[in-house]
Amino acid sequence: MRRMLTIATFPLFAVMAMASAQDPEPTKEPDKEIAEKIEALKDVVLDRKTEHDEQGVKLIDELNMKMQAGVHPKDKAAIVKALEDVFFKGKLRAPDHTSLYAGAAAALGYCGEDGAKVLRKAYDKKRFPDKKEWVPLREQLLKYLGRTKDESMVKFLCGEARRQPEAALQAAAGEALGNFEESKEEIRKEIVGELLIRYGELAELASQMGSSNIEAQNAQDRLAALSDKWNTALAKLTRQNFTTFRDWQAWHNKNRTQPW
């Protein structure tokens, strides 16, 4: 009986030892260098002459590299707050001088849900209005919002993809949705369905080309702006590869109820 107990318990000890050996390393302690870089970034943001934005971009890149390597939770929260301040503190940079904002957007794309909240806030706020001169920056905000893979933003991105009047932003929203390629099937199917509704509307309008059909010409121009990005996103979400709405529709009609 004693021998049987010893034999029976040995595998448990072995499993416990293996589990202990596989435990992740303890969470890192707060990094003083991160605090120093954040302070330096604040100085750049608040510089009224905006003469050191290039240095600010470098600081953002360095903070991003540290964050991706793994940082203490307090350090991550501090970095996200510093990146948020890039958008909302200091003198507003001109629409053709947005490298600091673009750098912050790229870094927030690696911050998951926390980064998504800041990017959505920057997109929605009037500081960067929905005007032509701000379109390139707003494209970046959408692109990196998708990069966060925060599924709570799917409906918002689908709404932009379907109803955004600016073609470049509509294209960027579709591109952003391609980042959810590893999401559950239900979410991927929802995104594909939403994209194909708008894709189909545009394809139908564009097919009615005539010498005086302005709507058809506009639809054709919009398709030219978004089709490559949307086709890429659809390919990532479905593991298929088509280049026209007709082909996507044919595949979707046959497979919408099948596992993807």
Per-residue pLDDT band for 211 (boundaries 50, 70, 90) equals low
Pure H helices in 152-244 = 154-163, 167-177, 185-206, 214-238
CA-CA distances (angstroms) from residue 11 to 4, 83, 120?
A: 12, 49, 51
The model scores a pTM over 0.75: yes
Q: How far is CA 102 from the centre of its chain?
A: 13
List, in order, residues 6 or more apart from 238 with CB less than 8 Å away: 188, 192, 251, 260
What is the structure's pLDDT at 23?
42
Confidence of residue 209 (pLDDT cuts 50, 70, 90): confident
- What pLDDT is stored for residue 24 in this prediction? 44
Range with the poorest average pLDDT among 35-39, 45-49, 174-178, 206-210? 206-210
Is the pLDDT reported for residue 229 higher than 90? yes
DSSP state for residue 72 in the 8-state scheme = -
Q: What are phi and psi of 113, to 5 degrees?
A: -60, -40
Is residue 61 predicted with pLDDT exceeding 90?
Answer: yes
Who contacts 257 (Cβ-Cβ below 8 Å, separation ≥6)?
none
pLDDT tens per residue across span 105-148: 999 999 999 999 999 999 999 999 999 999 999 999 999 999 99
What is the per-residue pLDDT for 28? 63
Q: Please state, in angstroms and as integers, the Cα–Cα distance from residue 55 to each residue in 42, 82, 93, 219, 228, following that order.
A: 11, 15, 15, 42, 34
* Cβ 146 vs Cβ 182: under 8 Å: no
